Structure 1
Amino acid sequence: MNMLALFMAGTLLAATPMAAAAQGVASAAPAVDAETARLNAWLNAKYEAQMAASPMARSYAGEKKDYDKIDDMSEAAAARQLERMRLEVEELKANFDRAKLTQDAQLSYDLWIYQYEEAAALAKFNRNAYVFQQMYGPHTRMPQFLMQVHRVDEPSDMDAYVARIGGIARALSQQLEIAKLNAAAGSRVPRFSYEMMIPQAKALNSGAPFGGEGDNAVWKDANAKIDGLVKAGKIDAAGAEAYRAAAKTALIEQWKPVYDQLIAWFESELPLADAVATGVGKNPGGKAFYDMMLRSSTTTDLTAEQVHRIGLDEVARIKGEMEAIKQKVGFKGSLQDFFKFVREDAQFYYPDTDAGRQQYLDDATRYVAFMKARLPEYFGILPKADIVVKRVEPYREIPGAAQHYYFSTPDGSRPGVFYSHLSDMRAVPKPQVEVITYHEALPGHHMNFAISRELTDIPEFRKYLYINAFQEGWGLYSEKFAKEIGAYKDPYSDFGRLTTEIWRAIRLVVDTGLHAKGWTEDQAVGYFTDNSPAAIGQIQSEVKRYIIMPGQATGYKIGMIQMEKLRRKAEAALGGKFDIRGYHDTVIGRAQMPLDVLEQQVDIWIAKQKAR
């Protein structure tokens, strides 16, 4: 999986002809079945060739092939990959007749082309990208990969772990080279981002074996994995000491120098970076870059002005629903007064103690269990992999940063993880825990990602395709759907649900405000605060996120609006024949796709239901 797809996925596909698509997933014609089988074999072979260039993607998928390697993250490698994709699309069009494929195979055909067209469009803006930033920069993402994804079950896995320490050092050097070029071209993150990245990098470059108090996070992880091999009887004490020595050498001689370079560069950038943060529109080529990112995030042709207007309208609508809850609980005062009450009253926060943090984790786990018990009534396809709730590791924890999901493996051996930043307990209000659990875990991100990866009847590349508006739209749809099946019994919890929905509507206003209208960070925080009861720590962290990830935050509400519209369309067309399990399986049962293509899939399902 291309890691940049986490922030940059999605553009419109050419519409699939409905007459051809109506033949359905399977066909009785042997020639069509044979052509589909040939296409799937070709796609899997090409995907395997892509995976050969990304050993990290193999590891994310749970494989151990090329387990000692880290991706080549140079610009030259990216250019080679794009050219390979271009040639593959030419080969696809020359060797397969799309009309002779099943409907699902036509979807695969189109999505393969979509991948290339998306990558080619984004490549035009390479100099506009923020390589290092405080949210998902490679300086924290790469160590997380080593510690969370690289399993050590055998001594050979530990050999690979040590080798990957050096591979990460090389990859970070490559990313630093690109970041310097981009900064020189005028794409430099604001000062706050450097100020947040410096302590992140220092935390990964201090403690044993480097010096300072405590153990470095990677050193601690390496020792734990070595101890696991000893406990399993795979190595003896002498073998353990040899591995400790090898890991220590790699960390001191390879890891530390590159983190020293990163820290020095971040510090040198501080006086050059904007103290008053705003969006990318001020950067050279920034307006065109943002237009591209907006199309990418929403998979629509909506303009920044249109997205801004949708956001304003949604904020007004949701505030009406909030007003109704304010009246229901008997609060006397304005909605702004109610916002202040929910934002500031101590009853809405966990204690800022270890016990308070554990209570948060226990509550989120309880909501996962509630949803897990209800899922079979509303979904025909369920994930095999489990989902667990964890606190973000100390080395990458950011006060107020957003909770997030981390992938399970296709075989379920590694569960999905719902991660929360808990260093600032005022940034995780009690009324929002339930709704965010449904978004990140079940039936939200875990449901979507795990089902996609566990499918056995689609080409491999589709299992790992990430499309922002689809994935995040589903997460937000899941939040609201949970209310239909008995969640949010406490009115303040339901208010928390509306808080997160208006949060996503506010994103449409703030993201376009920052990047297309020249808003400053303070203006964005002000609008957010005026229209939401979210904790101030949340708001400040969120706005910082939007500034360094242009467009990404707009996919949530746009995707949700489309999924709700398609459901209403299906309910109106089918009446008593409408089956909620069938609708949900249609939406998330064939992996991710752009929103216009999703509409085509729902139309096909409606036609089949009518014909039954």
Structure 2
Amino acid sequence: MPRIGRTPLGLALLFAFGAAAQAAPAAPAWVARSDAYTQPVLKDTGKYQPEDSTALGDESVDTQVADFRPHVYERALDDTEKRLAILRRERAQENDVKVRQDLDILIDSREKVVATMKLEHQYLLDYTNVGELVYGGLRALLDPRNKPERQKLALVRLKRYAGKEAGYTPIATLVRARGEERLANKALIGPYVNEVEEGLNNNATYMDGIEAMFRKANVTGWESDFAALKAQVKDYDDWVRNRILPRTRKEVRLPEAIYVNRLANVGVDIAPEQMIERAAFDFQEVRDEMQVVANTIAARNHLPSSDYRDVIRELKKSSIAPDQLLPYYRQRLKDIEGMVRAHDLVTLPTREANIRTATPAEAAQTPAPFMNPPRMIGNTGEYGEFVIPLSNPNAKSKARMDDFDFAAMAWTLTAHEARPGHELQFASMVEQGMSVARARFAFNSTNVEGWGLYSEAMILPYMPPEGQLVSLQARLLRMARALLDPQINLGRMTPAQAKSFLMREVVLSEPFAQSEVDRYSYRMPGQATAYYYGYVKLRALKTQAEIALGDRFSLKAFNDFIIAQGILPPALMKQAVLEDFIPARLGRIAAQ
């Protein structure tokens, strides 16, 4: 899963992808026209959450900090509604098909922002974990992939966070003031208690992470401002304990309208009930497939039990030592790349992919493997990183997280996060050039994670049986997410019940199962369903292309086409395949 941050609507990008990589081709004329429409939207979005824009490469906001000044809700809503009206007028006057598609993307994104802002303002008590916010904002600048002169800009952002520059108030003070304003409304629903407690528990780790990043970057002159910020975060945490904790809710469930809105924001456009029914069916189907493969493995290895759960537990015993984990995953990537080339699955680059383990602060923020995307703006050769955490600092027990460090898991995890999954997906966007609308405002978890899970399925037929079983286990987890996430958020089961189910039926460790239910409950409600939904949409589209082209269908050509489109919503991806890919293939073959 790609990780940028936990803002309500995900990513914030500025400026064009077309000039991203040194080797990128010149952007076509329609991209330049689309980007001209997009620039004002990007300026609007960067005004309020510049940290996310920094993470994706926009250097124009590198020294800015999140806006928590008075009346921020009213100002942001007014900006967004005005921009939406302008976009609708521009859409009515535009004739280019691709540019109109991009305007549709922009309009849809603004409509979602307006709907989300109004719903959350109506129902929810604001809660921001300042420690996590400043950690993310400084991490975006101190990233080792940035040049030293950019890393040094963290000093300016740090000073502004701490209110040590003229005209700036400490961000902790501003966030607390906005919180006090909302606390006066007793009808608002408080944050989930586990979310607040987790933030309080993790903030010391985030502060340690900031200090470690400054030292690693060899940036000097940060100590005094950081000491002030650290003290402010501590004072803010004391305020959270005294003022926010008493208003937290003990039940996960929120108004259904909020949950449906969150599904829509990650690209899921079906009702929770429909998601539950569809995922429940597929869960049974995948579990049956797993049992078939488990029977083969058990018979060949003379295991005492052929139950897929027991076979997976046996496979987990082949754990990889921490000092051998990265070499092992790198070798597995080479194996997968050989399979991709041997079977003409998709075009791969010749350069090596980046794989590393997570820092303690990264593991606290994202206790599951993730893709750390490259900067998408001003990119001069930086690429994404496949990051593997070795523990979950938020686990409820001392049990070992044994879900990612055993041999059979390396197949599917590498296919998903590295190649042909997210690493290839993001690198392709940087290298080929992409309109900003498609790169930023079409971005959601359905579009991104659908390709990740699709990539696992692409490699599965060529894996050894042990790899196939664990790849199916990973797919089963995605079905479980689509089944459990909505049931938790509709109040039909508790997080504890979901955790027990994941440990029993999907064979997750306690730490990983805990990170899963935390994700469904408060980290990113609804987001986990997007893997399954995006996968279903993409596989269905592949079937439609196969039917239309018959023996003229080329899997490699189809996959290359999908990658070349960037991160498109399922409806626009379907339109591209039906109107561009299929006619082009038929025309090309006919011409031959």
For Structure 1 versus Structure 2, the TM-score category normalised by the shorter chain is: 0.7 to 0.9
- Inter-partner Cα distance in structure 1 for 2:69 and 2:124: 14
Equivalence for 2:546: 571
Ranges in structure 1 where 5+ consecutive residues have no aligned partner: 11-32, 206-215, 228-242, 351-355
Equivalence for 1:118: 112
After TM superposition, the structure 1 = structure 2 runs for residues 466-505 of structure 1, keeping only pairs within 5 Å, are: 466-484=443-461, 486=462, 488-489=463-464, 491-505=465-479
The structure-2 alpha-carbon separation of the partners of 1:61 and 1:550, relative to structure 1 and needing over 3 Å to count, comes to: closer
Equivalence for 1:378: 345
Residue 139 of structure 1: CA displacement? Answer: 5.5
- Inter-partner Cα distance in structure 1 for 2:296 and 2:475: 19
- Inter-partner Cα distance in structure 2 for 1:6 and 1:504: 23
Residue 120 of structure 1: CA displacement? Answer: 1.3
1:384–1:454 CA contact under 8 A, matched in 2: no
1:139–1:201 CA contact under 8 A, matched in 2: no
Aligned with 2:280 (options 312, 317, 331): 312
Q: Give the aligned residue type for 2:215.
A: N
Equivalence for 1:387: 353
SS at match of 1:226: coil
- Inter-partner Cα distance in structure 1 for 2:212 and 2:79: 40
Ranges in structure 2 where 5+ consecutive residues have no aligned partner: 12-27, 163-169, 392-399
Identity %: 18
Equivalence for 1:29: none
- TM-score (normalised: structure 2): 0.81
How far does the alpha carbon of each residue in 1:535-556 deviate from its partner, in whole angstroms, 9 at most, with x for none? 2321122111110121111111
Residue 369 of structure 1: CA displacement? Answer: 3.0
The structure-2 alpha-carbon separation of the partners of 1:152 and 1:310, relative to structure 1 and needing over 3 Å to count, comes to: same
Equivalence for 1:233: none
How far does the alpha carbon of each residue in 1:323-367 deviate from its partner, in whole angstroms, 9 at most, with x for none? 1012111356776x44145236762434xxxxx222222222223
- The answer to whether residue 558 in structure 2 is matched with residue 583 in structure 1 is yes
Residue 180 of structure 1: CA displacement? Answer: 6.2
1:525–1:543 CA contact under 8 A, matched in 2: yes
- The answer to whether residue 85 in structure 2 is matched with residue 90 in structure 1 is yes
The structure-2 alpha-carbon separation of the partners of 1:396 and 1:135, relative to structure 1 and needing over 3 Å to count, comes to: farther
- Calculate the aligned-residue CA RMSD, in Å: 3.5
Aligned with 2:57 (options 62, 65, 83): 62
Equivalence for 1:362: 327
The structure-2 alpha-carbon separation of the partners of 1:373 and 1:263, relative to structure 1 and needing over 3 Å to count, comes to: farther
Equivalence for 1:192: 194
After TM superposition, the structure 1 = structure 2 runs for residues 398-409 of structure 1, keeping only pairs within 5 Å, are: 398=364, 401-409=367-375
Equivalence for 2:390: 422
2:325–2:405 CA contact under 8 A, matched in 1: no
Equivalence for 1:217: 209
SS at match of 2:528: helix
After TM superposition, the structure 1 = structure 2 runs for residues 276-287 of structure 1, keeping only pairs within 5 Å, are: 278-281=251-254, 286-287=255-256
- Inter-partner Cα distance in structure 1 for 2:350 and 2:66: 29
- Inter-partner Cα distance in structure 1 for 2:272 and 2:536: 17
Equivalence for 1:507: 481
- TM-score (normalised: structure 1): 0.78
- Inter-partner Cα distance in structure 2 for 1:2 and 1:495: 27
SS at match of 1:591: coil
- Inter-partner Cα distance in structure 2 for 1:592 and 1:451: 10
- The total of aligned residue pairs comes to 541
Residue 585 of structure 1: CA displacement? Answer: 2.8
- The answer to whether residue 111 in structure 2 is matched with residue 138 in structure 1 is no
Residue 178 of structure 1: CA displacement? Answer: 5.2
- The answer to whether residue 174 in structure 2 is matched with residue 201 in structure 1 is no
How far does the alpha carbon of each residue in 1:262-283 deviate from its partner, in whole angstroms, 9 at most, with x for none? 25514765565456xx5333xx
SS at match of 1:329: helix
How far does the alpha carbon of each residue in 1:287-319 deviate from its partner, in whole angstroms, 9 at most, with x for none? 11112222333432x211111111110110001
The structure-2 alpha-carbon separation of the partners of 1:429 and 1:272, relative to structure 1 and needing over 3 Å to count, comes to: farther
Q: Give the aligned residue type for 1:471.
A: V
How far does the alpha carbon of each residue in 1:64-90 deviate from its partner, in whole angstroms, 9 at most, with x for none? 334322232557445434433333333
Aligned with 1:349 (options 315, 319, 324): 319
